[in-house]
Amino acid sequence: MARITLRQLLDHAAERGYGVPAFNINNMEQGLAIMEAAAAVDAPVIIQASRGARSYAGDIMLSKMIDALEEMYPQIPLCLHQDHGNDEATCATAIKYGFTSVMMDGSLKADAKTAADYEYNVDITRRVVEMAHWVGASVEGELGVLGSLEHGGGEQEDGHGLEGKVSREQLLTDPDQAVDFVRATKVDALAIAMGTSHGAYKFSRKPDGEILAMNVIEEIHRRLPNTHLVMHGSSSVPQALQDMFNQFGGEMPQTWGVPVEEIVRGIRHGVRKVNIDTDCRLAMTAIFRKVGASSKVEFDPRKFLKPAMDSMRELCRERFEQFGAAGNASKIKVLPLSEMAKRYRSGALDPRIGGMTAAA
């Protein structure tokens, strides 16, 4: 059994200089695709479930599915992470169902659509960190509001995302504030806002520094070299998948995602977790369209799902390799939650800021 915490996994990734893709799960096929890809290249895994996924599949179904994946692939360290927790209860119940890590997204209020102020974010994140660390689970916090630098708005996905528009300042994480936030909350990983957004429609043109602010990552990494950074909304939305989707009856407007080479550049500057959902969805639904259009009499869902699963597995495998995660699963000796809890209590895992611990 190899249920790993986000903290232990990202500490390993930082030591060895790689990044870990975090793929979203809603159903069995996605779980199998991720684990088959990981097993093929010996990569550790982060599977994350949004609140939308938890209500779609149900907590019992989701957690038993992860148990099954863990049993099928005991050699692969598997972190189960709550994506965009909106309040304390979401995070606490996730841990109850076997999640080893939670995101407390205090950049938005509990309604998951109104931008929150800094004090609210620090306060709620600090309380979730305390609770999670009691049992050894990890916490990802978020500073800055995720949204487009092109139009100042967020993208609703699974009932989560900024509604309305905010200023450019709110859409870019402030490096000085990031230092203060990590010190005050003791988060294990920090999601930063730098122009990426959720969904397929991230950029209306190939992104440059004006709309994808990679320099923010580099600046934060300079000040917080020991903090694990997280890139959200980091699907690349490959042109080949858009083309297949549209070739078989889809009408997806031309769009641009985050280029893989920009993510790799981020990994050189402290990015350790890279969230990818849209690419996995598109890898599957482009195939649904292809099968549906090519064989108008086909009605066996497995004839749609099997090639869709193959397509998603190939995408996951590519990302494991591109981010350098491949070859690392067998190098990790997974620590139990109880051991992580002990280390948190001793202060050994307190954030190190400029080489000093937060307590110092």
Residues with a known catalytic role: 83
Contact 10, 82 (CB under 8 A): no
Q: With CB under 5 A as the contact rule, which of the stretches 2-10, 63-71, 229-237, 309-317 interacts with Zn ion?
A: 229-237
Nearest approach, Cβ of 275 to Zn ion (angstroms)?
Answer: 5
Nearest to 228 by CA among 78, 4, 5, 7: 7
Binding-site member from 232, 273, 290, 317 for Zn ion (CB under 5 A)? 232
81 binds Zn ion (CB under 5 A): no
Nearest approach, Cβ of 76 to Zn ion (angstroms)?
Answer: 23
* Closest residue to Zn ion, based on beta-carbon distance: 232
Nearest approach, Cβ of 75 to Zn ion (angstroms)?
Answer: 29
> Closer CB to Zn ion, residue 111 or residue 130?
111
Q: With CB under 5 A as the contact rule, which of the stretches 19-27, 49-57, 119-127, 231-239 interacts with Zn ion?
A: 231-239
Nearest to 14 by CA among 358, 352, 360, 356: 352
> Closer CB to Zn ion, residue 22 or residue 244?
22
Q: With CB under 5 A as the contact rule, which of the stretches 90-98, 117-125, 230-238, 311-319 interacts with Zn ion?
A: 230-238
Q: What is d(CA 322, CA 327) in angstroms, rounded to the nearest whole number?
A: 12
* Both tokens assigned to 54: 């938890």
Close Cβ partners of 280 (under 8 Å, ≥ 6 residues apart): 23, 24, 30, 33, 312, 315, 316
Q: With CB under 5 A as the contact rule, which of the stretches 36-44, 67-75, 226-234, 299-307 interacts with Zn ion?
A: 226-234
The SS3 assignment for 309 reads: helix
> Closer CB to Zn ion, residue 162 or residue 308?
162
> Closer CB to Zn ion, residue 12 or residue 232?
232
Nearest approach, Cβ of 147 to Zn ion (angstroms)?
Answer: 11
Nearest approach, Cβ of 84 to Zn ion (angstroms)?
Answer: 6
Nearest approach, Cβ of 233 to Zn ion (angstroms)?
Answer: 6
Q: Is 161 left (phi over 0), alpha (psi -120 to 50) or beta?
A: left
Q: Per-residue DSSP letters for 72-118?
A: H-TTS-EEEEEEEE-SHHHHHHHHHTT-SEEEE-TTB-TTSSSBPPH
Q: With CB under 5 A as the contact rule, which of the stretches 28-36, 232-240, 286-294, 305-313 interacts with Zn ion?
A: 232-240
Which of 308-335 are b and which e, b meaning 16 or more Cβ less than 10 Å from the residue's Cβ? bbebbbebbbbbbebbbbbebbeebebe
Q: What is d(CA 39, CA 33) in angstroms, rounded to the nearest whole number?
A: 10
Contact 256, 237 (CB under 8 A): yes
The count of residues interacting with Zn ion (CB under 5 A) is 1
> Closer CB to Zn ion, residue 133 or residue 232?
232
Contact 160, 90 (CB under 8 A): no
> Closer CB to Zn ion, residue 202 or residue 232?
232
Summarize as ranges the residues that interact with Zn ion (CB under 5 A): 232
